[in-house]
Amino acid sequence: MYRMTILYGTPTDPGAFRSYYMDTHVPIARRMRGLTGWNLQWLEGHPDYILVAELYAPDEAAMDAILASPEGVAASADLENFVTGGVTFLTGEEEQVALS
């Protein structure tokens, strides 16, 4: 499984960020086809970040194709409309480790 983790820096207006993200950005991003999963973690009390988003695809080639699609390009272009605290992208293979 391939994962892209997106770290959204603390914005100048957290309420406006969350509203735009949920009401505008999520509908745009939902148009991306081929993702196998998608998680959001809203952070409380963290001084540097407000949100961690994780996108999953079968492998790196699939993720690259999803992001290069018109829908992926639209989601990426939308970031400039609401991100004021910066954004960091981390990508790589996810490895499951057994607890015992």
Residue 74 identity (one-letter amino acid): A
Q: According to the CATH classification, is domain 2-93 in 3.90.650.10?
A: no
Tokens of 100: 């015992």
- Contacts for 22-28 with beta carbons within 8 Å, 24 or more apart? 24/78, 24/81, 24/82, 25/75, 25/78, 25/79, 25/82, 28/71, 28/74, 28/75, 28/78
In the chain, where the domains are located: 2-93
Q: What is the pLDDT along the chain (100 residues), one digit of tens a residue?
A: 999 999 999 999 999 999 999 999 999 999 999 999 999 999 999 999 999 999 999 999 999 999 999 999 999 999 999 999 999 999 999 998 999 8
What is the pTM for the complete model shown? 0.92
